[in-house]
Amino acid sequence: MATSSQGADVKLFTREEADKTLPLVRVIVRDIVTDYDVYTKKQQELNAITARMAAKPTKDDLRFQQTLEDEVGVVKKRIAEAAMELEKLGIEIKDCQLGLVDFPAKVSGDIAYLCWKFDEAKIAFWHGLSEGFTGRKPLT
């Protein structure tokens, strides 16, 4: 374990270590991306029925609303559990829709992130701690 600038013990990955975790990370992130898509669609349905019910809700509307609330809760919990799996590995999920994750690392002697997106074959980018996806630079 290394200590970050915030003082907490943080696992720092080498590029090779991060690449070795990709088969597992890819499965976890695939589940997050899939569940996040379901979550957003169910949440949109729930918002629509809630707005429609503001006028005069029926018993069917109330049942459907409850079903959607339950489904949204289940999917949200699955996403949180998958994110915790990544966290236990020392990896941070940054965007559930894109499947974007960061691996804390040292790059040129500074604490930074190795950055990977679900559709990428390998880890090929990095960015500084205060930069995000738009600040990605190719690893050399």
pLDDT in tens, 96-110: 999 999 999 998 889
Question: pLDDT of 9-35, one tens digit each?
Answer: 788 999 999 999 999 999 999 999 999
Domain extent for 60: 2-138
Sheet holding 125-128: strands in order across? Answer: 92-95, 100-107, 110-117, 125-128, 137-138
Number of domains in the chain: 1
> Would you list the DSSP string of 90-112?
T-EEEETTTTEEEEEEEETTEEE
Amino acid occupying residue 25 = V
Q: Can you give the pTM of this predicted structure?
A: 0.86
Positions of E strands within the chain:
2-3, 9-10, 92-95, 100-107, 110-117, 125-128, 137-138
